Amino acid sequence: MKPIATPSRTKEILEKHQLYTKKNYGQNFLIEPSVVEKIARSAIQTENTLAIEIGPGIGALTQYLCEYAKKVVAFEIDERLPEVLEDTLAAYPHVEIRLQDFLTTNIIEVVENFKKEGYDVVVAANLPYYITTPILFKLFESRAPIDTITVMMQKEVADRFRASTCSKDYNALSVITQYMCHVKHIMHVPSRVFLPKPCVDSAVLQFSFKENRDLVEDEQAFFAMVKACFKQKRKTMLNNYGAYIGDKQKAKQLLVKAGIAENARAESLSLEQFLTLYHVEQGSV
């Protein structure tokens, strides 16, 4: 079957169904088959995989997910597209399109039901830039038994997710994500492989949940502490952390106990150091 992810096929589908891109849905269609095939191959790692896709568009990635997965369930918010997908994916009876906002979905229930049916469950998507972080954190915080999450996003955001200490991209998002997940870089995707062409390049990352995630009693409290330490990037840990707990002298004592210099800045601290500070603050160290 001819790939959907080519300039000619994409234009043909858009013209046939009188479609235009909606900016409020962040729609950019992939027009390079090798990119969507690599995403699908990276995401589907067993013969018994069910792939959950978020935002299938006209089916460019969906088509390749259908080639490799046993079943594909795609969530689409644009009411124009289920009819289009019924046409473009007519050759694949094992795909199910759900016209539903993924952010309102009970993802734990969805995944657990598929697990009960014996599937390995993965998520794969070309995510709209404006909603990348909310979707990923919905997945991360759900703790749903998902094997891997393989997604394309704006390169700048991807760089933050996988950044190392002392790099310009390292921030609270890096620490919080790397607390919950292993992060693997799959590929760089240039802007020229999209229609319409966005102003920035993209990247594909793969996330898998860490087994030893229960390192803190209250994740939200830990995340709030990390965010507070990065609140004003130019300020020291003593200033940011002191403002967070409301007592600079106490903050100094806790930092000393955690082995963190008071004049250090958050971007120089590793995940392990943030965990140590949290445990010191909670009195468990």
What confidence tens digit (pLDDT) does each residue in 12-43 have? 999 999 987 665 555 688 999 999 999 999 99
CA distance 123 to 64: 14
Two tokens, residue 80: 């124009």
212 or 160, higher pLDDT: 160
Average of per-residue pLDDT across 72-91: 96
Residues 241 and 139 in one domain: no
In a domain, 214, yes or no: no
Residues 186 and 225 in one domain: no
What is the pLDDT of the chain when averaged over all its residues?
94
Two tokens, residue 114: 């598929």
Supply the CATH number for residue 155's domain.
3.40.50.150
In a domain, 115, yes or no: yes
pLDDT of residue 128: 83
In a domain, 126, yes or no: yes
Residues 233 and 179 in one domain: no
In the listed set 209, 230, 245, which residue is the last one of a domain according to the structure?
A: 209
Phi-psi region of 283 (alpha: psi -120 to 50; beta: other; left: phi over 0): left
Residues 73 and 160 in one domain: yes
Residues 196 and 234 in one domain: no
In a domain, 74, yes or no: yes
Residues 172 and 79 in one domain: yes
Full domain range(s) for residue 244: 219-282
Percent of the chain scored above 90 by pLDDT? 87
In a domain, 2, yes or no: no
Q: What is the number of domains present in the chain?
A: 2
In a domain, 1, yes or no: no
Residues 40 and 135 in one domain: yes
Residues 141 and 276 in one domain: no
Average of per-residue pLDDT across 164-177: 96
Residues shown for the chain:
285
In the listed set 144, 178, 209, which residue is the last one of a domain according to the structure?
A: 209
In a domain, 133, yes or no: yes
In the listed set 176, 209, 242, which residue is the last one of a domain according to the structure?
A: 209
Kindly tell me if the per-residue pLDDT of 252 is higher than 90: yes
pLDDT of residue 257: 97
Torsion over CA: 51, 52, 53, 58 (sign): positive
Residue 148: partners with Cβ closer than 8 Å, 6 or more residues away: 43, 45, 122, 123, 206, 207, 208
Query: What's this model's pTM, rounded to 2 decimal places?
Result: 0.94
Percent of the chain scored above 70 by pLDDT? 97
Residues 223 and 205 in one domain: no
Reported as a single tens digit per residue, the pLDDT across 38-76 is 999 999 999 999 999 999 999 999 999 999 999 999 999
Two tokens, residue 246: 């409301």
Average of per-residue pLDDT across 233-244: 95
Residues 238 and 164 in one domain: no
In a domain, 256, yes or no: yes
pLDDT of residue 26: 57
Residues 223 and 185 in one domain: no
Residues 110 and 192 in one domain: yes
Distance in Å from the first CA to the final CA of the chain: 60
Residue 215: partners with Cβ closer than 8 Å, 6 or more residues away: 179, 275
CB atoms within 10 A of CB 210: 13
Tracing tokens 């096929």 back to the chain, one arrives at 9
Supply the CATH number for residue 248's domain.
1.10.8.100
